[in-house]
Amino acid sequence: MKIKTIYLGNNKSLCQRLVDESKYMEVTQIEHPLSALKMKGDIGLIILEESDSEDDGLWLTRFIKEHLDDSPVLLFAMSSTGDPGPYFRSGADDLISADTPAADIESRLLFLKQNDPNLRTYREEDSYTNRLPVWKRAFDIVFASLALLLLSPLFVLIALLIRFESKGKVFYAAKRIGTGYKTFDFFKFRSMYTGADKKVNALMAENQYSGKSDNPKKKNDVQERNSDGPLLLSDDEMITEQNHLEQKRIKQEASFFKLVNDPRITKVGRFIRNTSIDELPQLFNILKGDMSVVGNRPLPLYEAELLTTDQCVARFLAPAGLTGLWQVSKRGDSGSMSPDERKQLDIDYANNYSFLGDIRIILKTIPAMLQHENV
């Protein structure tokens, strides 16, 4: 059964696109908030379009959320600002744009439907910095400030080298998912040619974490072994429960994207990646409070959405970090660390981080920065 979804806005062509593209949502357009609220017992999602200004969008978000009471209805705000903070503080469960594909909206909807009780407490008005232990936030500010002061000549040199080799911006800002599924702009020195992010799908077959089988016979054996058992019916096919679980496992193993000898990387980019210099602009993220010096690496949205099990959600309860337990364990070791090992290290850090533990990780980060693999 599809999730009943209200599109609250007057853009009929946009609503029709959602209707045509949606696989799991049953989309209906309504232009008046009160009409949508009258239906709150029957719907699972409201998509609110910011029609006139951000102030109007925030006011409507607060108005709708207040009248939803304790209803399980989710509210996605549609805005062109790209800054989720004000909308999250006004009560929105997620921020999307008018050109967000229906498939992406659905994946976020299904993620939050499964994990919202674990994440909602991280969307209160208190900022991320106030949720950190005092010792951790104080250490972050002192460390990041001193590091930026000492490394400022290096920043200038790297910026000149990047601009000399290829056209484009010196810094690269991408949306990342941090603590409590919070979205923020993640800063790095640009290490790839402009437009490299559009080539991910074409290179996915070479992903270290692709979950693909190098042995066709082994793959066939698994399918044959799983050919018996209870049948599960979906919109497109009927498969056995065992095959469904196997497909889910393979999909989760592919939740991280990483290449050896990535052709999208420039010569300067390869050097700053191998020495981790490309990560240094995240010191600004630390000062802003988006991240901590030590924590779990913030993930791109497409990776975070695949980590939806109860166990994996735990890794989002830790601070996002410049370095972390995974980075100092087997960083760059030709993909020898399995996806499960990486996830477990993130979960271990989330459950056990401490001041002395952070200091040990920082000390181990220095030799780990000088990796020998082109990843």
CATH no. for residue 89?
3.40.50.2300
261 and 324 inside one domain = yes
Q: Which of 85, 104, 243 is nearest to 178 (CA)?
A: 85
Which of 123, 142, 160 terminates a domain? The answer is 123
- The number of folded domains in the chain is 3
284 domain residue, yes or no: yes
336 and 190 inside one domain = yes
Query: Does residue 122 contact residue 179 with C-beta atoms inside 8 Å?
Result: yes
Q: What whole-number distance in Å separates Cα of residue 362 and Cα of residue 72?
A: 42
Which structure tokens are listed for 237? 């096919």
205 domain residue, yes or no: no
166 domain residue, yes or no: yes
155 and 100 inside one domain = no
96 and 232 inside one domain = no
Q: Please give the chain's pLDDT, 375 residues, in tens.
A: 788 999 988 888 989 999 999 988 999 998 888 777 777 777 888 998 887 677 778 888 888 887 876 677 888 888 877 677 788 888 888 888 888 888 888 888 887 777 654 444 444 444 444 467 889 999 999 999 999 999 999 999 999 999 998 888 899 888 888 887 777 889 999 988 776 555 455 555 444 455 544 454 444 444 444 444 443 333 334 444 455 445 545 544 444 445 556 667 888 988 998 888 999 999 999 999 999 999 998 888 767 766 655 566 677 778 899 998 888 876 545 456 677 788 888 888 888 889 999 999 999 887 766 554 444
217 and 331 inside one domain = no
β strands within 257-310, DSSP E: 292-294
152 and 270 inside one domain = yes
| Beta-bridge partner residues of 240 | 231
Q: What whole-number distance in Å separates Cα of residue 93 and Cα of residue 87?
A: 8
Q: What whole-number distance in Å separates Cα of residue 373 and Cα of residue 274?
A: 7
245 and 316 inside one domain = no
141 and 269 inside one domain = yes
179 and 327 inside one domain = yes
Which structure tokens are listed for 32? 């008046």
The full DSSP string for 297-361 is PPB-HHHHTT--SHHHHGGGGSPBEEE-TTHHHHTTSTT-S-HHHHHHHHHHHHHH--HHHHHHH
In this prediction the pTM is 0.52
203 domain residue, yes or no: no
242 and 142 inside one domain = no
Residue 8, domain extent: 3-123
71 and 9 inside one domain = yes
Task: Give SS3 for 76.
Answer: strand
151 and 216 inside one domain = no
Q: What whole-number distance in Å separates Cα of residue 130 and Cα of residue 140?
A: 13
